[in-house]
Amino acid sequence: MNCFGDSVVSFSKKVLGACKKIPRGKVTTYSEIAKAINSPKSMRAVGNALNKNENIILVPCHRVVRSNGFVGGYVQGTKRKINLLRKEGIIVSNKGKIDLKKFLYKF
């Protein structure tokens, strides 16, 4: 492990902990999670941490989307992410966009 190992693990735990708080039927953004863990400029690092999520059942990273409302990536593919969101009652347009005014969860 390099000299940043512990801080990376701590950061990832904070990200995953915040992600667990997103309720069913809501989404949040990488930016909102970054702010919630007191690291407001770390949106990309939040995405990287979520990409390494080993327990997608307990940590619903499919509920994290881009700040512009587009669904963004997902480890199991964008199509799967959209299907999961729709099962939770979130309306996703045919272009892959979500109305954040209606579905955004803020911490």
Give the catalytic positions in this structure: 61
Distance (Å, whole) CA 19 – CA 30: 10
The CA-based dihedral angle spanning residues 85, 78, 91, 16, taken in that order and rounded to the nearest 10 degrees: 40
CA distance 59 to 48: 14
